[in-house]
Protein backbone atom coordinates (compact mmCIF):
# COMPACT_ATOMS: atom_id res chain seq x y z
CA UNK A 1 0.00 0.00 0.00
CA UNK A 2 2.53 2.56 1.13
CA UNK A 3 5.25 3.21 -1.46
CA UNK A 4 8.94 2.70 -0.99
CA UNK A 5 9.80 6.32 -0.23
CA UNK A 6 8.07 9.05 1.78
CA UNK A 7 8.57 12.10 -0.40
CA UNK A 8 5.35 13.99 0.24
CA UNK A 9 1.84 13.77 1.61
CA UNK A 10 0.59 14.41 -1.92
CA UNK A 11 1.57 10.82 -2.80
CA UNK A 12 -0.24 9.16 0.11
CA UNK A 13 -3.72 7.66 0.21
CA UNK A 14 -5.95 8.30 3.22
CA UNK A 15 -5.39 4.68 4.26
CA UNK A 16 -1.63 5.22 4.26
CA UNK A 17 -1.99 8.22 6.55
CA UNK A 18 -4.31 6.33 8.88
CA UNK A 19 -1.86 3.46 9.10
CA UNK A 20 1.01 5.81 9.94
CA UNK A 21 -1.05 7.57 12.63
CA UNK A 22 -2.14 4.29 14.14
CA UNK A 23 1.46 3.04 14.25
CA UNK A 24 2.55 6.34 15.79
CA UNK A 25 0.00 5.92 18.56
CA UNK A 26 1.72 2.68 19.54
CA UNK A 27 5.12 4.36 19.31
CA UNK A 28 4.01 7.17 21.61
CA UNK A 29 3.45 4.64 24.37
CA UNK A 30 7.10 3.56 24.13
CA UNK A 31 8.17 7.17 24.78
CA UNK A 32 6.16 7.18 27.98
CA UNK A 33 7.98 4.18 29.46
CA UNK A 34 10.99 4.44 31.73
CA UNK A 35 13.00 2.30 29.30
CA UNK A 36 12.11 4.06 26.06
CA UNK A 37 13.61 1.48 23.71
CA UNK A 38 12.40 -1.47 21.70
CA UNK A 39 14.56 -3.82 19.60
CA UNK A 40 12.47 -3.38 16.43
CA UNK A 41 15.20 -1.94 14.21
CA UNK A 42 18.25 -3.49 15.86
CA UNK A 43 20.99 -3.90 13.28
CA UNK A 44 19.36 -1.46 10.87
CA UNK A 45 21.22 1.68 9.78
CA UNK A 46 19.45 5.05 9.53
CA UNK A 47 21.34 7.85 7.77
CA UNK A 48 20.43 11.50 8.45
CA UNK A 49 21.62 13.21 5.26
CA UNK A 50 20.99 16.88 6.05
CA UNK A 51 22.19 19.35 3.43
CA UNK A 52 20.30 22.11 5.25
CA UNK A 53 20.77 22.87 8.95
CA UNK A 54 18.01 21.85 11.30
CA UNK A 55 17.49 21.70 15.04
CA UNK A 56 14.47 19.74 15.92
CA UNK A 57 14.04 17.61 12.85
CA UNK A 58 17.49 16.02 12.90
CA UNK A 59 17.37 15.38 16.64
CA UNK A 60 13.80 14.08 16.39
CA UNK A 61 14.76 11.53 13.73
CA UNK A 62 17.89 10.59 15.68
CA UNK A 63 15.97 9.99 18.90
CA UNK A 64 13.28 8.10 16.97
CA UNK A 65 15.87 5.82 15.37
CA UNK A 66 17.66 5.14 18.64
CA UNK A 67 14.41 4.32 20.48
CA UNK A 68 13.91 1.62 17.85
CA UNK A 69 17.51 0.40 18.47
CA UNK A 70 18.69 1.42 14.99
CA UNK A 71 22.22 2.70 14.41
CA UNK A 72 21.91 6.36 13.41
CA UNK A 73 24.57 8.06 11.29
CA UNK A 74 24.50 11.85 11.02
CA UNK A 75 25.95 13.33 7.89
CA UNK A 76 25.75 17.02 7.02
CA UNK A 77 27.60 18.77 4.22
CA UNK A 78 29.56 21.04 6.57
CA UNK A 79 31.69 17.99 7.43
CA UNK A 80 31.72 16.60 3.98
CA UNK A 81 33.61 16.49 0.78
CA UNK A 82 30.78 18.39 -0.88
CA UNK A 83 33.23 21.20 -0.29
CA UNK A 84 35.37 19.24 -2.70
CA UNK A 85 32.61 19.67 -5.32
CA UNK A 86 31.33 16.14 -5.03
CA UNK A 87 27.86 16.22 -6.45
CA UNK A 88 24.81 15.63 -4.29
CA UNK A 89 23.83 12.49 -6.16
CA UNK A 90 27.30 11.00 -5.96
CA UNK A 91 27.31 11.64 -2.20
CA UNK A 92 23.98 9.91 -1.88
CA UNK A 93 25.08 6.99 -4.06
CA UNK A 94 28.22 6.59 -1.97
CA UNK A 95 26.22 6.44 1.26
CA UNK A 96 23.81 4.01 -0.40
CA UNK A 97 26.65 1.64 -1.21
CA UNK A 98 27.23 1.30 2.55
CA UNK A 99 23.80 -0.40 2.69
CA UNK A 100 21.75 1.88 4.93
CA UNK A 101 18.18 0.72 5.55
CA UNK A 102 16.71 4.21 5.20
CA UNK A 103 18.07 7.64 4.27
CA UNK A 104 16.49 10.82 5.66
CA UNK A 105 17.11 13.77 3.30
CA UNK A 106 16.75 17.48 3.95
CA UNK A 107 17.72 20.02 1.31
CA UNK A 108 17.01 23.68 0.65
CA UNK A 109 15.98 22.92 -2.94
CA UNK A 110 12.59 21.40 -3.77
CA UNK A 111 12.79 18.03 -5.48
CA UNK A 112 16.22 16.93 -4.29
CA UNK A 113 14.87 14.05 -2.13
CA UNK A 114 12.97 12.75 -5.17
CA UNK A 115 16.07 12.93 -7.36
CA UNK A 116 18.04 11.09 -4.70
CA UNK A 117 15.31 8.47 -4.28
CA UNK A 118 15.46 7.83 -8.02
CA UNK A 119 19.06 6.63 -7.80
CA UNK A 120 19.17 4.90 -4.38
CA UNK A 121 18.47 1.36 -3.32
CA UNK A 122 17.56 2.54 0.18
CA UNK A 123 14.16 4.12 0.80
CA UNK A 124 14.23 7.91 1.20
CA UNK A 125 12.29 9.97 3.75
CA UNK A 126 11.91 13.65 2.88
CA UNK A 127 12.71 15.74 5.95
CA UNK A 128 11.89 19.00 4.18
CA UNK A 129 12.81 20.18 0.67
CA UNK A 130 12.64 23.86 -0.18
CA UNK A 131 9.06 25.10 -0.43
CA UNK A 132 7.84 21.69 -1.58
CA UNK A 133 6.91 19.29 1.26
CA UNK A 134 7.76 18.34 4.83
CA UNK A 135 5.66 15.22 5.22
CA UNK A 136 6.63 14.17 8.76
CA UNK A 137 5.69 17.65 10.00
CA UNK A 138 2.20 17.29 8.55
CA UNK A 139 1.87 13.79 9.98
CA UNK A 140 2.79 14.97 13.48
CA UNK A 141 0.29 17.81 13.11
CA UNK A 142 -2.42 15.33 12.10
CA UNK A 143 -1.53 13.11 15.04
CA UNK A 144 -1.75 16.06 17.43
CA UNK A 145 -5.16 17.13 16.12
CA UNK A 146 -6.45 13.55 16.25
CA UNK A 147 -5.23 13.28 19.84
CA UNK A 148 -6.81 16.60 20.88
CA UNK A 149 -10.08 16.34 18.97
CA UNK A 150 -10.59 12.58 18.66
CA UNK A 151 -11.04 12.95 14.89
CA UNK A 152 -9.90 14.98 11.87
CA UNK A 153 -12.82 14.42 9.50
CA UNK A 154 -15.21 17.37 9.48
CA UNK A 155 -12.96 19.78 11.40
CA UNK A 156 -12.17 23.29 10.21
CA UNK A 157 -8.42 24.03 10.07
CA UNK A 158 -7.14 27.56 9.41
CA UNK A 159 -3.51 28.05 8.36
CA UNK A 160 -2.19 31.57 8.92
CA UNK A 161 0.82 33.14 7.25
CA UNK A 162 3.37 32.65 4.51
CA UNK A 163 1.60 29.92 2.51
CA UNK A 164 3.53 30.57 -0.68
CA UNK A 165 6.98 29.80 0.76
CA UNK A 166 5.92 27.08 3.20
CA UNK A 167 6.51 23.37 2.78
CA UNK A 168 4.72 22.92 6.09
CA UNK A 169 1.59 24.55 4.66
CA UNK A 170 1.68 22.45 1.49
CA UNK A 171 2.08 19.16 3.33
CA UNK A 172 -0.63 20.08 5.83
CA UNK A 173 -3.06 21.15 3.11
CA UNK A 174 -2.67 17.75 1.44
CA UNK A 175 -2.88 15.93 4.75
CA UNK A 176 -5.91 17.62 6.26
CA UNK A 177 -7.81 17.54 2.95
CA UNK A 178 -7.17 13.82 2.48
CA UNK A 179 -8.35 13.20 6.05
CA UNK A 180 -11.63 15.05 5.43
CA UNK A 181 -11.05 18.41 7.11
CA UNK A 182 -12.01 21.79 5.68
CA UNK A 183 -8.83 23.81 5.16
CA UNK A 184 -8.65 27.61 5.04
CA UNK A 185 -5.60 29.79 4.47
CA UNK A 186 -5.27 33.42 5.47
CA UNK A 187 -2.39 35.82 4.83
CA UNK A 188 -1.44 39.07 3.16
CA UNK A 189 -2.38 38.56 -0.53
CA UNK A 190 1.20 38.16 -1.85
CA UNK A 191 1.67 35.22 0.54
CA UNK A 192 -1.22 33.24 -0.92
CA UNK A 193 -0.32 31.17 -4.02
CA UNK A 194 -2.35 32.07 -7.10
CA UNK A 195 -3.83 28.63 -7.62
CA UNK A 196 -4.24 27.64 -3.97
CA UNK A 197 -7.96 26.97 -4.36
CA UNK A 198 -7.19 24.15 -6.81
CA UNK A 199 -5.82 22.32 -3.75
CA UNK A 200 -9.31 22.40 -2.28
CA UNK A 201 -8.74 25.15 0.26
CA UNK A 202 -10.51 28.48 0.80
CA UNK A 203 -8.33 31.61 0.80
CA UNK A 204 -9.00 34.61 3.04
CA UNK A 205 -7.38 37.92 3.76
CA UNK A 206 -9.56 38.69 6.79
CA UNK A 207 -8.57 36.93 10.01
CA UNK A 208 -12.07 37.39 11.38
CA UNK A 209 -13.61 35.46 8.51
CA UNK A 210 -10.86 32.86 8.33
CA UNK A 211 -11.05 32.05 12.04
CA UNK A 212 -14.83 31.98 12.23
CA UNK A 213 -15.79 28.59 13.61
CA UNK A 214 -12.25 27.15 13.34
CA UNK A 215 -11.36 24.05 15.40
CA UNK A 216 -7.63 24.35 14.73
CA UNK A 217 -5.48 27.39 13.93
CA UNK A 218 -1.98 26.77 12.63
CA UNK A 219 0.38 29.76 12.51
CA UNK A 220 3.38 29.52 10.15
CA UNK A 221 6.77 30.94 10.89
CA UNK A 222 7.73 34.19 9.12
CA UNK A 223 11.04 32.97 7.76
CA UNK A 224 12.83 36.29 7.85
CA UNK A 225 12.40 39.99 8.01
CA UNK A 226 13.53 40.46 4.44
CA UNK A 227 9.97 39.71 3.45
CA UNK A 228 8.86 42.96 5.07
CA UNK A 229 8.32 45.61 2.42
CA UNK A 230 7.55 43.26 -0.44
CA UNK A 231 5.08 40.86 1.21
CA UNK A 232 3.75 43.06 4.03
CA UNK A 233 4.51 46.59 5.20
CA UNK A 234 6.40 45.72 8.40
CA UNK A 235 6.79 42.96 11.00
CA UNK A 236 4.85 45.14 13.42
CA UNK A 237 1.94 45.49 11.04
CA UNK A 238 2.03 41.77 10.20
CA UNK A 239 1.84 40.96 13.90
CA UNK A 240 -1.05 43.38 14.45
CA UNK A 241 -3.10 41.96 11.59
CA UNK A 242 -2.11 38.26 11.42
CA UNK A 243 -0.44 37.56 14.75
CA UNK A 244 -2.53 35.31 16.98
CA UNK A 245 -3.56 36.48 20.44
CA UNK A 246 -6.47 35.75 22.74
CA UNK A 247 -8.54 38.57 21.26
CA UNK A 248 -8.42 37.15 17.74
CA UNK A 249 -9.07 33.62 19.02
CA UNK A 250 -12.53 34.84 20.11
CA UNK A 251 -13.61 34.45 16.47
CA UNK A 252 -12.80 30.73 16.56
CA UNK A 253 -14.59 27.92 18.40
CA UNK A 254 -14.37 27.89 22.21
CA UNK A 255 -12.26 24.75 22.19
CA UNK A 256 -9.94 25.86 19.39
CA UNK A 257 -6.32 24.68 19.56
CA UNK A 258 -3.31 26.65 18.29
CA UNK A 259 -0.38 25.00 16.49
CA UNK A 260 2.98 26.23 15.22
CA UNK A 261 5.78 24.21 13.58
CA UNK A 262 8.40 26.12 15.58
CA UNK A 263 10.57 27.94 16.28
CA UNK A 264 8.10 30.71 17.15
CA UNK A 265 8.92 34.37 16.62
CA UNK A 266 7.28 35.46 19.87
CA UNK A 267 5.15 38.54 19.49
CA UNK A 268 4.96 38.04 15.73
CA UNK A 269 3.09 34.86 14.77
CA UNK A 270 1.91 34.24 18.34
CA UNK A 271 1.59 36.48 21.38
CA UNK A 272 4.06 35.65 24.16
CA UNK A 273 1.17 34.31 26.17
CA UNK A 274 0.02 31.92 23.43
CA UNK A 275 3.56 30.75 22.73
CA UNK A 276 3.65 29.24 26.22
CA UNK A 277 0.12 28.31 27.21
CA UNK A 278 -2.99 26.42 26.16
CA UNK A 279 -4.80 26.44 23.84
CA UNK A 280 -1.45 26.20 22.04
CA UNK A 281 -0.12 22.65 21.79
CA UNK A 282 3.36 23.33 20.42
CA UNK A 283 5.26 21.02 22.74
CA UNK A 284 2.76 18.23 22.10
CA UNK A 285 3.55 18.63 18.40
CA UNK A 286 7.26 18.20 19.18
CA UNK A 287 6.60 15.13 21.34
CA UNK A 288 4.38 13.63 18.64
CA UNK A 289 7.14 14.30 16.13
CA UNK A 290 9.27 11.59 17.73
CA UNK A 291 6.36 9.13 17.63
CA UNK A 292 5.62 9.90 13.96
CA UNK A 293 9.26 9.48 13.00
CA UNK A 294 9.45 6.16 14.85
CA UNK A 295 6.38 5.04 12.89
CA UNK A 296 7.82 6.22 9.60
CA UNK A 297 11.22 4.61 10.21
CA UNK A 298 9.47 1.39 11.16
CA UNK A 299 7.17 1.37 8.14
CA UNK A 300 9.66 2.49 5.50
CA UNK A 301 13.06 1.14 6.52
CA UNK A 302 14.29 -1.94 4.80
CA UNK A 303 12.14 -1.47 1.70
CA UNK A 304 15.16 -1.74 -0.54
CA UNK A 305 14.71 -1.50 -4.25
CA UNK A 306 16.04 -4.87 -5.33
CA UNK A 307 18.24 -4.72 -8.34
CA UNK A 308 18.62 -0.95 -8.39
CA UNK A 309 22.39 -1.14 -8.05
CA UNK A 310 22.52 -3.78 -10.70
CA UNK A 311 20.66 -1.48 -13.06
CA UNK A 312 22.98 1.44 -12.37
CA UNK A 313 26.18 -0.55 -12.56
CA UNK A 314 24.77 -3.25 -14.81
CA UNK A 315 27.05 -4.91 -17.35
CA UNK A 316 27.35 -2.76 -20.44
Does residue number 93 form part of the binding site for a second copy (CB under 8 A)? yes
Would you count residue 147 as binding a second copy (CB under 8 A)?
no
Whichever of 42 and 208 has its CB closer to a second copy, that residue is 42
225: β partners = none
Report the C-alpha gap between 48 and 68 in whole angstroms: 15
Number of residues located near a second copy, criterion CB under 8 A: 72
Phi and psi at residue 232, in whole multiples of 5°? Answer: -160, 160
Residues 273-302 that bind a second copy (CB under 8 A): 276-284, 286-287, 289-290, 302
Of 73, 199, 227, 228, which one interacts with a second copy (CB under 8 A)? 73
Of 20, 51, 91, 239, the residue at the interface with a second copy (CB under 8 A) is: 91
The residue (of 128 and 175) whose beta carbon lies closer to a second copy is 128
List the interface residues with a second copy, window 228-257 (CB under 8 A): none
Q: Smallest distance from the beta carbon of 232 to a second copy, in angstroms?
A: 18
Residue 298 beta carbon to a second copy: minimum distance, rounded to whole angstroms: 14
Please state, in angstroms and rounded to a whole number, the distance separating the CA atoms of residues 88 and 90.
6
Stretch that binds a second copy, among 16-24, 72-80, 132-140, 210-218 (CB under 8 A): 72-80
The residues in 32-71 that bind a second copy, with binding defined as CB under 8 A, are: 32-37, 42-45, 47, 53-56, 58-60, 62-63, 66-67, 71
How are beta strands 102-107 and 124-129 bridged, if at all? Answer: parallel
Among 6, 17, 305, 56, which residue's Cα sits nearest to residue 181?
Answer: 17
Q: Measured from the CB atom, is 181 or 296 closer to a second copy?
A: 296
CA distance linking residue 234 with residue 115, whole number of Å? 38
**Residue among 234, 263, 272, 307 that touches a second copy (CB under 8 A):** 263
Q: Give whichever of 58 and 114 is closer to a second copy, judged by the CB atom.
A: 58
Judged by CB under 8 A, the stretch of 80-88, 108-116, 128-136, 192-200 that binds a second copy is: 80-88
Q: Does 31 bind a second copy (CB under 8 A)?
A: yes
Residue from the set 137, 144, 158, 265 that interacts with a second copy by CB under 8 A: 265
In whole angstroms, the minimum distance from the beta carbon of 278 to a second copy comes to 5
Interface with a second copy (CB under 8 A), residue from 3, 130, 213, 262: 262
Q: Which is nearer to a second copy, 173 or 218 (CB)?
A: 218
Least gap, CB of 195 to a second copy (angstroms): 29
Residue closer to a second copy (CB basis): 48 or 146: 48
By beta-carbon proximity to a second copy, the closer residue of 20 and 47 is: 47
Amino acid sequence: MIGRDLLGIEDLEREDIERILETANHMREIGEREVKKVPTLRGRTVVNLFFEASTRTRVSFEIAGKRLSADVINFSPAHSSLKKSESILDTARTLDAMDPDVVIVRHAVAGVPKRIADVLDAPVINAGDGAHEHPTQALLDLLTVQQEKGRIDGLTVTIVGDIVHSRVARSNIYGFRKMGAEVRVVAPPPMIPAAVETLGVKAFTSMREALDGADVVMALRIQNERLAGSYFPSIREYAATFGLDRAKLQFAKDDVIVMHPGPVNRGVELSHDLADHRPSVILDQVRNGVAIRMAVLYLFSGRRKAGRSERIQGSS
